[in-house]
Structure 1
Amino acid sequence: MTSMDIVRRLDNLVPNEAKRIGSRDPLPRLLAQLVARAGEPVTVERATSRPWASALFEGRRHVVALRLTGVDARERRVRFDAGLEEAEWTLPGHFVADISIDEQRSTPQDEWIELSALTIEDW
């Protein structure tokens, strides 16, 4: 499993990732917005993206695991969850067609959120 300390590298996440993959993958921008919604301190423990298509649409399926730490981690997780499916996301060239929490768990030190999202290319 790969871990990324998003707190120290947020300024570098979106530009470098977009250049590296050379595609229109909206995952870096989605991650930045998910991290902002979760609040600090948060770590992206896993983030994957793969192509997705139907007869009419093309997009990407994303799976993200976040670890929230700090004394207010539980409250931040509850706020993160509230209204997630109705939240507005800014992803140039894409829109979020579906986003849902797959699993949540608590440990004495942190809160975990695992979620899935489907982004569709906005032609």
Structure 2
Amino acid sequence: MTSIGMSVASANLLRNGEIGTKGRDPLPRLLGQLTARAGTPVTVERAASRPWASALFQGRRHVITLSLAGPDAAARRAAFVAGIEEAEWSLTGHFVADLSIDDSYPMPGGEWIELSALTIEDW
């Protein structure tokens, strides 16, 4: 049987805390890079982030909807979608493990892009 002595002073206990910016949600930085890739004018219609974990990793799952406006929106959507799964993203303390386009379609005056991403804390 294993036991622990509770008379240890709390100052001697190790704290399991976040170091630097690793625990921060990378969604704002990811949104900045996605909107730069989409060009202007672009609007973030929806951006949600929630914790995600597996047996070995922890991170966040993101769902994002962008609307592109303007006469060149269809061409910008095609350029945005092309090769996005292999694109490199710069997220301090995290990396993009998966990014996929869930849907994209025309709308009056522009284009919609719905995507999801999985970011993992970089150890």
TM superposition score normalised by structure 2: 0.81
SS in 1 for 2:29: helix
Q: Aligned partners of 1:98, 1:111: CA distance in 2, in Å?
A: 23
Q: Look up the equivalent residue of 1:119 and give its one-letter code.
A: T
1:1-123 correspondence runs (5 A):
24-123=24-123
Q: Aligned partners of 2:59, 2:102: CA distance in 1, in Å?
A: 20
CA offsets 1:44-101 (integer angstroms, 9 cap, x no match) = 0000000000000000000000000001000000000011000000000000000000
Q: Aligned partners of 2:64, 2:107: CA distance in 1, in Å?
A: 18
Larger Rg: 2
Q: Look up the equivalent residue of 1:43 and give its one-letter code.
A: T
CA RMSD of aligned residues (A): 0.7
Report the Cα offset of residue 105 of structure 1: 1.2
Gaps of 5+ in 1: 1-22
Q: Look up the equivalent residue of 2:101 and give its one-letter code.
A: I
Q: Aligned partners of 1:48, 1:107: CA distance in 2, in Å?
A: 22
Identity %: 73
Gaps of 5+ in 2: 1-22
Q: Look up the equivalent residue of 2:108 and give its one-letter code.
A: P
Report the Cα offset of residue 108 of structure 1: 3.0
Q: Aligned partners of 1:117, 1:77: CA distance in 2, in Å?
A: 18
Q: Look up the equivalent residue of 1:30 and give its one-letter code.
A: L
Q: Aligned partners of 2:92, 2:31: CA distance in 1, in Å?
A: 14
Aligned residues, how many? 101
TM superposition score normalised by structure 1: 0.81
Which has more helix, going by share of residues? Answer: 1
